[in-house]
Amino acid sequence: MSLSRSVAEIVPTHIVTEGGGFKVRRPFRMGKVMSPFLLIDEMGPVNYGPGEAVGAPWHPHRGFETVTYLLDGRMRHEDSAGNHGELNPGDVQWMTAGRGIIHCEEPHEEILRDGGRTHGFQIWVNLPASHKMMRPRYQEVPSSESPTVEKNGVWARVIAGECMGEQSAIDTKIPITLIHIKMNSGSRLSQELESGLNGMIYVFGGEIELENEARVKKSPIAFGIRTKQQIKDGELGLLSEGDVISITSKSDSEFLILAGPELNEPISRYGPFVMNTREEIEQAFIDYRNGTFVG
Ligand code: MN
């Protein structure tokens, strides 16, 4: 019998200023509670006027992956390895910083000049100790190639993992699920999620309801108690164990489903470096100063 996941905790979000001064909506509690995700930043939505758009000028990363998913706007990126490209709505950039990358993430010159709406996500995914110093790599999935599916009032883009029979081609070192979902009011979704993985839902529009049946054993018969829990716009719901999520949309809603393993490794973190020990962080600074950070 399948066990539906319930909401174990609701983590509210707050507004934080990042990079060159852009605002993100970010859960109040991070790190271990949402392993293997280190950060879930919703960028905007913001309407920039001409000359107002800002990004993240040159900065390094080591020890994890950054996933950038753009919903609105246009961004460009460039890095120390000579890669450069742009992101348009629906595009995903899965960047594995591994042992080191130095890059800049900026609004496209068209947005800089004319202004415009910008909305998207940057999610930091931790790497296990065994892969923190792996060779950096990019996996770029343009909107036109990214798997999407629509059934019974539910639309999904499968960035990583599987949803409604669609599967992502993104390669990850640990099993990761990352799905963008839009649901019409009153529609339902039953999403399977391998038990044993940490599961969470970040809602950024409307409100959803999770239904689950808690098995209560009471002599002489066992019966189930049906519970309904809500997650609404601007809330990260951390889910209990189970192998399926039963969702009903209370309004038109939009959210991300995220899942991955508990890494159970120490996290030593300083700004854009996320390692296991303080010594490894110091080494990152030394390598950065010495110019031996990348390569
Ligand atoms: Mn970055």
Instruction: Answer whether residue 110 is part of any domain.
Output: yes
Give backbone dihedrals phi and psi of 107, rounded to 5 degrees, phi first: -65, 150
* Residue 219 reports pLDDT greater than 70: no
**What is residue 281's predicted lDDT score, i.e. its pLDDT?**
97
Amino acid letter at 195? S
Per-residue pLDDT band at 160 (split at 50, 70, 90): very high
**What is residue 139's predicted lDDT score, i.e. its pLDDT?**
94
Q: 231-287 pLDDT, tens per residue?
A: 999 999 999 999 999 999 999 999 999 999 999 999 999 989 999 999 999 999 999
**What is residue 78's predicted lDDT score, i.e. its pLDDT?**
93
Instruction: Answer whether residue 159 is part of any domain.
Output: yes
Rounded Cα distance between 81 and 101, Å, is 8
Nearest Cα to 9, choosing from 235, 270, 280? 235
Instruction: Answer whether residue 1 is part of any domain.
Output: no
Instruction: Answer whether residue 295 is part of any domain.
Output: no
Amino acid letter at 138? Y
Q: How far is the CA of 56 from the centre of ligand 1 (A)?
A: 7
The CA-based dihedral angle spanning residues 163, 168, 171, 176, taken in that order and rounded to the nearest 10 degrees:
-20
Provide the number of structural domains found in the chain.
Answer: 1
Greater pLDDT, 29 or 149: 149
Q: How far is the CA of 28 from the centre of ligand 1 (A)?
A: 20
Q: How far is the CA of 257 from the centre of ligand 1 (A)?
A: 22
Q: How far is the CA of 125 from the centre of ligand 1 (A)?
A: 12
Q: How far is the CA of 9 from the centre of ligand 1 (A)?
A: 29
Instruction: Answer whether residue 180 is part of any domain.
Output: yes
Q: What is the pTM of this model?
A: 0.94
Domain that holds residue 270: 7-290
Instruction: Answer whether residue 119 is part of any domain.
Output: yes
Q: How far is the CA of 65 from the centre of ligand 1 (A)?
A: 9
Instruction: Answer whether residue 2 is part of any domain.
Output: no
Using a pLDDT cut of 70, give the percent of the chain over it.
96
CATH number at residue 28: 2.60.120.10
Secondary structure, 3-state, the chain: CCCECCEEEEEEEEEEEECCCEEEEEECCCHHHHCCEEEEEEEEEEEECCCCCCCEEEEEEECEEEEEEEEECCEEEEECCCCEEEECCCCEEEEECCCCEEEEEEECHHHHHHCEEEEEEEEEEECCHHHCCCCCEEEEECHHHCCEEEECCEEEEEEECEECCEECCCCCCCCCEEEEEEECCCCEEEEECCCCCEEEEEEEECEEEEEEEEEEEECCEEEEEEEEEEEECCEEEEECCCCEEEEEECCCEEEEEEEECCCCCCCEEECCEEECCHHHHHHHHHHHHHCCCCC
